[in-house]
Each structure stands twice: as structure tokens, then as C-alpha cells.
Amino acid sequence: MGKYAQDAKELLGLVGGRENIAAVSHCMTRMRFVLADPSKADIPGIEAMKVVKGSFTQSGQFQVIIGNTVADFYNDFTAAAGIEGVSKDAVKQAAKQNQNVLQRSVTALAEIFAPLIPAIITGGLILGFRNCIDSMYLFENGTKTLCEISQFWAGIDGFLWLIGEAVFHMLPVGICWSVTKKMGTTQMLGIVLGLTLVSGQLLNAYAVAGTAAADIPKWNFGFIEVNMIGYQAQVLPAILAAFTLVYLEKFFRRITPQAVSMIVVPFLSLLLAVMASHFVLGPIGWKIGSVISSVVFAGITGSFKVLFGAIFGFVYAPLVITGLHHMSNAIDLQLIADYEMTMLWPMIALSNIAQGSAVLGMILLQKKNTQAQEVNVPACISCYLGVTEPAIFGVNLKKGFPFVCGMIGSALAGIVCVATGTAANAIGVGGLPGILSIRPEFMGSFAICMAVAVAVPMILTMAVGKKKLTASERGAAAADGSGDIRELKAFLSGKVIPLKEVNDGVFSEGVMGEGIAVIPESEILYAPADAEVTVVMEDSRHACGLRLDNGMEILLHIGIDTVDMKGDGFSYAVAAGQRVKAGDALIRFSRKKIKEYGHPDVTVCIITDPGNAENIQFRTGMDAKEKETILATFA
């Protein structure tokens, strides 16, 4: 039996059983499910499991965050379920049944760029390093760069451009390859198609703007001339060309006899795709891409750039939840192609930092809560290094307020970012190391943005969390005794009786839980311990629920069937969400009114959830004095 066998069986039941699993696989940290009926998944129950750090649904997949041990958990899960896992690609294909057209389009875009991201990040870091050594005037009184005073570094600068050019100028090759790989057609044809878009025979895309129309080289077919223009770093022309190749190949493969398929299919597919790319699709794709990038550029640099930065910074994290954030990759790359920099990506990095900083606020709030820190600390680290899912789904969305605090911090950082015109050479690591991809002249302003993205969410989270989190959630009980509750004091003065003597079917039989009752001699209901008010009855005002700092939940109910009084004779001294101390007034009531309505005024205290309390002992058969007499003890 594996280490996670029991947890695996529990998770299997909570996702709806074997029959509800259409497909399952795992990645580095998460179990990935495609569920036949997603509504059958008991999400609260799943997230309550100690081994689970969070869950979310994205791109038609229900994903459960396990952590670095997910591979072992996966093996135990498939054994417990009696099913064979499938590849991530198979899961993605199965998940499409749960997606609409927009979601499928975004998923396709994400799957195209996912294999390219490591190379793009590497290229961005290289460009950032080259700018540091060949563009920053740090030597000889600020008149020379490192490359100008050192032949060694000048050589390094030239050599590294070999990689930078391969990544960005040759990007269409990678895109065409990735599309054919995703669509299951001949990848080598995709590579060749990409090479025809960046061939040295063509006028380099970066030189087109500075070349007069009459000087642009052309193919002359007698009846028509076509510009010989390259599409270095262009995204949309490559995507359009690649999908054209894919569907041409599928078409010819379907209609061509098998005997000549090896010759006819690749020849006609590639020839027609290259012609379509240079004659029609390339110019159209270039124009569309330029329009998109110019609109984004205008938003970031125009009169309303501060508003643009605030909105984008605020909404980017919610876009991550939906998966729509993947579209930003294409926009970033188009901005780099058109303006040799991107002003969008720095705000993306700041949003990641802000969500990580919200988790940092939770770390400081819950520094005494060992169980919470097992999730908080690794989630914060991974978020600062550019991987946001553990932070967003494992911590921030669970409580809600840290996620919003992160969004606010990201919005403020976005305002500073666009106000200072901060730009990056390329897409980089989406966290603290992202500063290495920022253009040298903007590294100082980006550092200020980073400080905002760290400080604001952390401070806001701590401020809100002090009011939202109970002492037990903060882990205060073990440290300062504020949550070390061992007793319940009298909530009323009067005779204490066992619950079974209340003469009510629900309370007497312990249906709602064990408890104790008091026949009152006073008319103010008091808190029996430090707690948070969790439930109030706005209409009848005859009862309230409390959550103690040890996790225990109790219900205090004045009289039997007093709900019929519709609040007559009752008034609250507290509100839901309010913190109370032992002995604080909760409800004022009239015993006379209760008797006039013909109801008993016996008041019960029911423990609906013991939380961390053990060995609960009730004391009955005595006269209690409110706020002083101990009615129950526990460990």
C-alpha cells in the first residue's frame, strides 16, 4: 500500500467516483481531471483534505494541487481507482468537451506558445544582459559601456546575439513547428514553412519600415508582382500560415491515393501554403498584428495610460483564473516585433509579484499556524519565481481577501509602470527575476514598481486579515494563549439542566450535537467564550452562532419555537462577523414576552462542531451565575 493510498481513496470519492472520471493525468504539482459531471465534485471536501493545497477549474480540466509529491499520489490514486492514467495531451483533448468556442481558441493559443516559452524567456534574459553590457554607460565618467572598454565583453556581446537572433527573428519557425505538432501533421513541413517566412532571400521585417516602396524586392510573375518581405518575429502571419499548411495537408491526405501520398501530399501542401503565406496571409496577418499592437501601445502610452495600467493590473489575475491570460503572449511578441520592446509584460510580472506578496501577508499573519505555512511558504516562493497557480488557487482565492488585495497592489504598480514608461526587451520570468528582462534605462523605475507590488498587497492583506482571520486561523493559540480555550462560562443566570430535559425533539435527542441548557433568571444572553459571531437571525433575532478560537462552533438558542415570535421581544447586541470576548452581550430578550406567546424560555447551547476540542464535559444540576459559572470544560 502506498503512502497516499488512504488519501487517494478519499479523493476518488470526493470527485464523484471512478465513473465520473473521463480522464486523469498529472503535471509537476497537480492532478488533472476531466470529469463527466463536474458538479459531482465536492470541492469544499477536497480542499479540506490535508494533502490538498487547493483546486481550480481551467480549460475544461478540474485540477487539484498536491505539490511536489504529486507523482507518488498519482500512482496511488490510479491504483485505488482501478483506472489507467493517460497523457496530458489526452486529458486536454478530453477536456475540450467541457469548453466553449472561446475557451477552445484560447486553449489552442496557449498550447502553441507553451513549448516556445522557455526559449523566449532565455532570449529575453540574453537581450537584457546584452543591454547591460553594451547600452549602460557606467565607465569613464559615464561615457563608455563595458563593451567599449573591453574586447572580451564586446566579443561576448556579439556571440550572444547569435542566440537572441535565433529566438526572436526566427520565431515563425518555432510557431509553425508548434502548430503542426499540436495538430498532428508533419512537423518538418512546419519547420520548412517557417524558414520560408524568415529566409535571407527576403527583405528583413525590421528593415521594411526604412525601405522605400520602390526599393522593396519583388517576385515578378509577369502578370503580378509580390513583395519579397520576411516575417521575422511576426506572430499572426506565422500562425495563419501554419494552420493553412495543417488543413491543406489533412485535405490532401484524405483525397490522395495511398500509393502516391508520400509525394503528392507534402509537395502540394507546402507549395500552396507558402504561396498563400506570401501572397495573402502574410500581409493580412502583419496588418492585423500591427493594428492590435498599435491599439495596445496607444493604451499604454496615450492620454489614458494611467487608467489602462490600473485596469490591466487589476484584472490580469482574474484572467489567469479563466485562462484568457495566454493571449498576452501573442500581444507581447507582436509589440516586440513592432517596437522592439513590450510595455505589457512588465505589468504581468508585477501582477504575479503582487499575488505572491498577498501570500507573504498571509505568511506573516499565520506565522504561528504550522499547517497553513506548509502551503503559504512554497506558494509564495513559486509565485515570486513566476508560477502563480499555487498562490492564487492554494491560498488567495480560498480566503478571498488576499486575492483582492493582490489585485489592488497590482493595479497601483501598473499605474506606476505605465506612468514611467517602463518597458522590457522581451518576455522574461514572471516574478522577481523579471527585472533582468527590463530595458536597462527602466530597471530603476521597475524596481520602484516591484516595491509597490510587494508592499501594498502585503500590508493590505495583513490589515484585512487581522479582522477576517480568527485567532486559531492565525495560530495564536499556541503562542499567546488567546485561543487556548478550555471552558464555556454561563451565558445566562439560572438553573442548569441536561439537554435531554429540554423537551424538544431536535435539541433533546442531540440531533444537532451535544450541549447544555439553562432555565433563565436573567434577560441578556452572553458569549460563553472568545469567539466570532458567524450566524444571526435577522427576522427572529432569537439565536446566534459562534465560532470559538479553537475551531469549536456553537449555537445559542433562546426558548423553544420562539422563531414564531418574529423578533418581538428580542434585540441583537452584535452583528455577523463581529469578534466578541467571553462575557460580551449577544442578545437582549424579554422573558415576559416569551411566556405571553406560550413558549418555554429555556435556552440551549449546542456544540455543532467540536473543532479541536476533545473530552468535552458538561456540568449540570446547579444554579449558574452569568459570566462566572463554568458550564463545560474540554481539552
Determine the pLDDT at residue 96: 53
Taking the whole predicted model, whether its pTM rises above 0.85 is answered as no
Rounded CA separation 218/535 (Å): 77
Give the pLDDT confidence score for residue 103 in this predicted structure: 58
Topology of the domain covering 487-633? Glucose Permease (Domain IIA) (2.70.70)
Segment 260-288 shows an average pLDDT of 93
Buried b / exposed e across 520-549, counting CB within 10 Å, b at 16+? bebbbbbbbbbbbbbebbeebbbbbbbbbb
**Could you give the residue numbers annotated as active site?**
27
- Relative orientation angle of helices 345-365 and 443-468, to the nearest 10 degrees: 40
Quote the pLDDT of residue 477.
46
Segment 420-437, tens digit of pLDDT: 999 988 777 778 888 888
- Alpha-carbon Rg for the chain, nearest whole angstrom, is 32
Between these two residues, 122 and 180, which has the higher pLDDT value? 180
d(CA 68, CA 427): 26
pLDDT above 60 for 438: yes
The CA-based angle 397-476-377, given to 5 degrees, is 45
Could you identify the residue written with the cell 452584535?
574
Quote the CA–CA distance of 492 and 522 in Å, as a whole number. Answer: 6
Determine the average pLDDT of the residues in 168-172: 87
Fold topology of 5-99: Gyrase A; domain 2 (3.30.1360)
Strand partners, 372: none
Which residues are within 8 A (CB) of 388 and not within 5 positions of it... i.e. 6 or more apart?
A: 317, 320, 352, 355, 356, 382, 430
How many Cα neighbours within 13 Å face the side chain of 492?
27
Domain boundaries, the chain: 5-99, 169-290, 302-477, 487-633
218-220/225-227 β-pairing: antiparallel
Residue 327 binned pLDDT confidence (cut-offs 50, 70, 90): low
Q: Residues 509, 580, 502, CA angle at the centre, nearest 5°?
A: 20
How far lies 118's CA from each of 153, 429, 550, in Å? 25, 9, 47
What tens digit of pLDDT does each residue of 580-625 get? 999 999 999 999 999 999 999 999 999 988 887 888 999 998 999 9
Query: Shortest CA distance to 359 belongs to which of 320, 319, 388?
Result: 388
Using CA atoms, how far apart are residues 34 and 16, in angstroms rounded to an integer? Answer: 12
Q: Who's near 467: CB < 8 A, 6+ residues apart?
A: 579
How many degrees, rounded to 5, is the angle at CA 620 between CA 615 and CA 624? 115
